[in-house]
Chains A and B, each alone.
Chain A
Amino acid sequence: AQSVSQHNHHVILSEAASLELGCNYSYGGTVNLFWYVQYPGQHLQLLLKYFSGDPLVKGIKGFEAEFIKSKFSFNLRKPSVQWSDTAEYFCAVNARNRDDKIIFGKGTRLHILP
């Protein structure tokens, strides 16, 4: 069965620090990959997605993610975080051509210190 692992459950950084959140998935076939963000008290919003093409994907608010097929990874990065990036981040995977299900990771809670 498909699964998604987010290694960091809770990350605390100072403003201007660089960020990398890990995401690994377990499916050997073709995948669609997503990162969603949930700001405090709000619903999930799409941050970025990868379907095909350039494995380095740029999203909103300066976020980017790199798909490394050999490592089954889709890590999220941002060079310099801001206090407003405080949120919970979810990685999600769909096994293309298998079913329409999107599997979510358990989330990483990011806290940025001003």
Chain B
Amino acid sequence: EAQVTQNPRYLITVTGKKLTVTCSQNMNHEYMSWYRQDPGLGLRQIYYSMNVEVTDKGDVPEGYKVSRKEKRNFPLILESPSPNQTSLYFCASSFYGATEAFFGQGTRLTVV
């Protein structure tokens, strides 16, 4: 089954404790991206990747890192999480950014 898998689905952590949210897709898509969803602000892109070893900043990259060492995986790293990063995070993939995006189930992150 074609899918984008994110883990974990829910995470509560403390300020400053490094964490990684994993994202994996099985559709051989070149393009992957991370979004955060906040009430009233919609979806905002954090980082995106057009292919292996190619990543670029989206609209709200501060406080986040990503890597794309393999085509299927695109982890999101928070080196020192802060409470303003409490949000719902979605990973998405597509053949190219301009085609239909497939979304993961989301990761609800709370930083206390």
Contact = CB atoms under 8 A, between A and B. Distances in A.
Interface of A: 9, 32, 34, 42-46, 49, 90, 94, 96, 99-102, 104-107
Interface stretch (B14-22, B62-70, B95-103): B95-103
Given A43-B103, A44-B90, A45-B103, A100 B97 contact: yes
Contacts of A104: 35, 42-44
B41 interface: yes
Interface of B: 31, 35, 40-45, 48, 50, 58, 90, 92, 96-101, 103-106
Contacts of A102: 97-98, 101
A100 B96 contact: yes
B103 A90 contact: no
7 tightest Cβ-Cβ pairs between the two chains A and B: A100-B97, A106-B42, A104-B43, A94-B98, A43-B103, A44-B103, A107-B42
Contacts of B99: 32
Contacts of A94: 97-98
Nearest to B4: A43
Given A44-B90, A100-B31, 10 more contacts: A34-B101, A42-B105, A44-B101, A90-B42, A90-B43, A94-B98, A100-B50, A104-B43, A106-B40, A106-B42
A99 B42 contact: no
Most buried by B among A44, A90, A94: A44
A49 B99 CA distance: 9
Contact of A99 (B40, B97, B100, B105): B97
B105 A43 contact: yes
Contacts of A101: 45, 48, 58, 97
Contact of B104 (A34, A43, A49, A100): A43
B41 A106 contact: yes
Contacts of A106: 40-42
Nearest to A109: B39
A49 B100 contact: yes
A105 B42 contact: yes
